[in-house]
Amino acid sequence: MFKNYFKTALRGFKKNKVTTFINVLGLSIGISASLIIFMMVEYDYSFDKYEPDANRICRIVSEGQGWKNSGIPIPMHEAVQQKVSGIQTIALFIQYNDYSIKVSVPKGNDKAPQIFKSQQKIVFADNNYFTIFPHEWIAGNAKASLSNPYQLVLTESRAKQYFPNIPLLQLIGKTVVFSDTLHTTITGIIKDLKSNSDFKYDAFISLSTIPSGTLKAAYQWDQWGSTNSNTQVFVKLLPNVNTVNINKQLAAIFKEHANDNDEKTSHYLQPLSDIHTNVDFDGSVNESTIRNLILLAIFLLILAAINFINLSTAHAAERAKEIGIRKTLGSKKTQLILQFLTETFLLTLFTAIVSVAITPLLLNAFSGFIPDGLKFSYFLSQPIVWGFLLLLVIIVSIIAGLYPALILTKFKPASVLKNSVVTNSGTTRAAWLRKTLIVFQFAIAQVFIVAVFVVDKQVHF
């Protein structure tokens, strides 16, 4: 039976090539856009999910009159560590605040050191950093590699960049100089972080390096009145700890040490899950943007489905005789509906294949709007994306195919075979619904067109 459905569907596609092409084009646009938007949404919501007990990890942030900051005063870290209860682990890390960091790698034997300019992703951190953001260690360990001043931990890629011809295990004890003044010794090598994270760094200098040398004043180590987003403190709470209680303790600590000008500043916990999508605290994407993208994908799919419905019902009279003969030969209504749904499924499945094929081209064409880490290879490696695509095919097949199937199976065999079948007139409910769909389709399309022009003008402005 299903084999016959497939044959009938293929013959119908071949007979109505123009209609099939229009349907494939409309559905491919909707499915492609929905697929890319789903990849973007899933990508943005996948950040910092790899940390153990991520629901207990928070960042301490600052807020004042008319401003918000993802950092806190450096001395607050030690005060929180000593006075706040309910915290399992606390980690302070400070981004290297040189905009153009030069790294020198001594070669020995009176050779000139190798210079690497404009190095990024360098932070000062302690061992607790790797408790909250765990990494896989190649050499060294999380407990001791950053316990003393002037120690350095490198990622595998950064280590290979600085020492391309030396095995990683032999790098322990090697010297790396930052900005011509900061001499550090490699004590650990970690693997590059594969998971999506807003906290991917390639070089970690021991935090105790700052107060033990000349950097103490430059980083305002003892200044309660200085708040900088480069200085961030993360805490891992004990199980079942109320964050409201922690926030009260933070307020009490800052009130104890703040100057009169700083009394209106407040500090509180920001959940790890909120960091990537909160632009008030330097998040990478606005959550409202994600919601708008989801709505856009839904509207595009609805437009594609409406286009399919309108074309299918417009060709209803052409299939009337086929339906009449099938009913005369004993076909039941459910069998006819299943046949039309099978046709829609095959067409949608083919469209989905086309959409997958053109996805790399679309990602490249709209690269300015796509997150940097989102590549087509990411699509191939995510089972959830494939599951979404399959679910999308099924849902679109049902939405786009069910209504035309119900309309087409209402024809009476006697009227059809006498060539007296009349399609829905303007007074019938079905015709009214079809007209409503057409008006809705054109209205939404015009809204999108106007929005494109407005956005284009705004971007150029």
Least confident of 56-60, 225-229, 267-271, 436-440: 436-440
Any idea what DSSP says for residue 200? -
pLDDT at 426 over 50: no
Sequence-ordered list of residues with C-beta below 8 angstroms from that of 14, at least 6 positions apart, any chain: none
At residue 285, the pLDDT reads 87
- Residue where a domain stops, chosen among 256, 279, 302: 279
Is residue 116 domain-resident? yes
Q: What is the pLDDT of residues 343-356, one digit of tens each?
A: 888 888 888 888 88
82: containing domain: 58-91+232-279
> Which residue intervals of 16-89 are DSSP H helices?
17-44, 75-83
Least confident of 52-61, 203-212, 311-320, 435-444: 311-320
User: Which position has the token pair 């956005």?
Assistant: 455
The DSSP result for 125-181, as a single string, is E-TTHHHHS---EEES-TTTTTSSTTEEEEEHHHHHHH-TTS-GGG-TT-EEEETTT
User: Domain check: are 39 and 103 in the same one?
Assistant: no
Tell me the backbone φ, ψ of residue 370, rounded to 5 degrees. -95, 135
Is residue 174 domain-resident? yes
How far out from the chain centre does Cα 167 lie?
Answer: 35
User: Domain check: are 167 and 260 in the same one?
Assistant: no
- Angle among Cα 231, 233, 238 to the nearest 5 degrees reads 180
Least confident of 111-125, 208-222, 378-392, 399-413: 399-413
Average pLDDT of the segment spanning 390-413: 76
Distance CA 238, CA 244 (A): 14
Q: What is the pLDDT of residues 282-292, one digit of tens each?
A: 888 888 888 88
The answer to whether the CB of 424 falls within 8 A of the CB of 430 is: yes
At residue 418, the pLDDT reads 58
At residue 335, the pLDDT reads 75
User: Domain check: are 32 and 65 in the same one?
Assistant: no
User: Domain check: are 322 and 377 in the same one?
Assistant: yes
User: Domain check: are 107 and 207 in the same one?
Assistant: yes
Q: Mean pLDDT across the chain, nearest whole number?
A: 83
The answer to whether the CB of 26 falls within 8 A of the CB of 362 is: no
Tokens of 264: 């209106």
User: Domain check: are 289 and 418 in the same one?
Assistant: yes
Q: What is the pLDDT of residues 163-194, one digit of tens each?
A: 998 999 999 999 999 988 899 999 999 999 98
User: Domain check: are 343 and 404 in the same one?
Assistant: yes
Number of residues that make up the chain: 461
Label residues 16-48 b or e (16+ Cβ within 10 Å = b). beebbeebbebbbbbbbbbbbbbbbbbbbebbb
Average pLDDT of the segment spanning 319-339: 71
Is residue 322 domain-resident? yes
Distance CA 116, CA 423 (A): 76
User: Domain check: are 275 and 289 in the same one?
Assistant: no
Sequence-ordered list of residues with C-beta below 8 angstroms from that of 291, at least 6 positions apart, any chain: none
Domain count, the chain: 3
pLDDT at 26 over 90: no
Distance CA 391, CA 395 (A): 6
User: Domain check: are 300 and 417 in the same one?
Assistant: yes
Tokens of 378: 């990411």
At how many degrees (to 10) do helices 383-408 and 17-44 cross? 140
Is residue 106 domain-resident? yes
Is residue 431 domain-resident? no
The answer to whether the CB of 103 falls within 8 A of the CB of 183 is: no
User: Domain check: are 296 and 316 in the same one?
Assistant: yes
Q: Choose from 105-119, 183-197, 251-265 the range with maximum mean pLDDT.
A: 183-197
Distance CA 126, CA 209 (A): 10
- Residue where a domain stops, chosen among 408, 423, 438: 423
Is residue 169 domain-resident? yes
Q: What is the pLDDT of residues 204-253, one digit of tens each?
A: 999 999 998 788 888 888 888 888 889 999 999 999 999 999 999 998 88
At residue 22, the pLDDT reads 81
pTM above 0.85, yes or no: no
User: Domain check: are 239 and 347 in the same one?
Assistant: no
Average pLDDT of the segment spanning 143-153: 93
At residue 151, the pLDDT reads 95
The answer to whether the CB of 187 falls within 8 A of the CB of 153 is: yes
At residue 131, the pLDDT reads 92
Of residues 246 and 111, the one with the higher pLDDT is 246
Cβ atoms within 10 Å of 80's Cβ, excluding its own: 22
pLDDT at 48 over 50: yes
User: Domain check: are 214 and 181 in the same one?
Assistant: yes
Is residue 456 domain-resident? no
At residue 43, the pLDDT reads 87
